Amino acid sequence: MQRVQQLKKLGRRAQKGFTLIELMIVVAIIGILAAIAIPQYQDYVTRARWADNIASIASTKIAIGQCLQENSGDMTKCATAALLNTAVGYPSLPVPKNGTVAWDGTVPALTITGSGQLTACVVTFTPVTTDPTQIKWTGATSGNGCTKQQTGV
């Protein structure tokens, strides 16, 4: 008799833990959040890498601006790294972590080609001088899937 009462008490204890359906709902919610968050994070990382690439050429753009001002807006005197070094003492092109920088050669246009995960994009910055005291940099992108949202240009 006493044994039967003990077994009845064991049966009345509250169950602890989660049911299978509760666990499945939690897994589904985490899956939905991950499906939204992972692509957003990847876009964020891509934009950050392009921002780093573009920031790395800021000193070169300033040196080109100085060269153009000293040479009355004559772009042919600032179109290569050697000419820029002669004109204003700028040593060399920067080397960004996520790309490579190249000169156009005829005008002082800077082309950044993405590397690593950014290989589909090429960003070109060209100075436009309508007057030797003003320089406006125009940016253009090329490549498959290379958008303003990714590069900021």
Residue ranges per structural domain of the chain? 2-151
* CA–CA gap between residue 129 and residue 135 (Å, rounded): 5
* CA–CA gap between residue 121 and residue 100 (Å, rounded): 11
* pLDDT value of position 13: 62
Q: Judge whether residue 36 has pLDDT over 90.
A: yes
User: What's the pLDDT tens digit per position in 18-27?
Assistant: 899 999 999 9
* pLDDT value of position 23: 95
Q: Judge whether residue 140 has pLDDT over 80.
A: yes
Number of alpha carbons in the 13 Å side-chain half-sphere of residue 91: 2
Please give the mean pLDDT across all residues of the chain: 85
* pLDDT value of position 12: 62
